[in-house]
Amino acid sequence: MNYGYLTLETGEIFEGMLIGANKDSLGEVVFNTSMTGYQEIITDPSYAGQIITFCYPMIGNYGINALDDESITPALSGVIIGDLCETPSHYQSIHKFSEKLEQAGVPGIAGVDTRLLVKTIRSRGTVKGYLSKTKKTGFAVERKAPLWVEKVSTKKIQTYKNSGPHVVLMDYGYKKSILNALLDKNCSVTIVPYHTPFEKVKALNPDGVLFSNGPGDPMMLKQWFPEIKKISQYFPSLGICLGHQLIALSYGAKTEKLAYGHRGGNHPVKELLTGKVKITAQNHGYVVVDNSIDTNVFQITYRNVNDQSIEGLKHQRYPIQTVQFHPEAHPGPSDTAHILTEFVSQITSAGEARYAIK
pLDDT on residue 126: 86
Residues 6 or more apart whose Cβ sits within 8 Å of residue 225:
246, 249, 250
Bridge partners of 83? 58
pLDDT given for residue 358 in this prediction: 37
Each domain of the chain, given as residue ranges in start order, spans: 3-132, 151-357
End-to-end Cα distance, the chain: 66
pLDDT tens across the length of the chain (358 residues): 789 999 999 999 999 999 999 999 999 999 999 999 999 999 999 999 999 999 999 999 999 999 999 999 999 999 999 999 999 999 999 999 999 999 999 999 999 999 999 999 999 988 999 999 998 877 666 667 789 999 999 999 999 999 999 999 999 999 999 999 999 999 999 999 999 999 999 999 999 999 999 999 999 999 999 999 999 999 999 999 999 999 999 999 999 999 999 999 999 999 999 999 999 999 999 999 999 999 999 999 999 999 999 999 999 999 999 999 999 987 667 889 999 999 999 998 765 544 443 3
Residues 132, 134, 136: CA angle, nearest 5 degrees: 90
Same fold, 3-132 and 151-357: no
Phi-psi map region of 17: left, alpha, beta (phi>0 left; psi -120 to 50 alpha):
beta
Q: How far apart are CA 238 and CA 236, in angstroms?
A: 7
Residue positions annotated with a catalytic role: 241, 326, 328
What confidence score (pLDDT) does residue 350 get?
Answer: 66
| Domain 3-132: which CATH number of 3.50.30.20, 3.40.50.300, 3.10.620.30, 3.40.190.10 | 3.50.30.20
Alpha carbons 352 and 56: distance in angstroms, whole number: 47
Choose among 193, 156, 199, 210: nearest CA to 326. 210
Is residue 11 classed exposed, middle or buried when 0-12, 13-18 and 19+ CB atoms within 10 A define those classes? exposed
pLDDT at 290: 95
Provide the pLDDT for residue 137.
Answer: 74
- The per-residue pLDDT for 334 is 86
> Helix count (H) and strand count (E) of the chain?
9, 19
| Local structure of residue 72 (DSSP, 8 states) | S
Helix (H) or strand (E) holding 231: helix 225-234
Taking alpha carbons only, the member of 220, 207, 181, 188 closest to residue 327 is 181
The yes/no answer on whether domain 151-357 falls in CATH 3.40.50.880 is yes
Looking at residue 329, what is its pLDDT?
Answer: 82
257 forms bridges with which residues in the sheet? 286
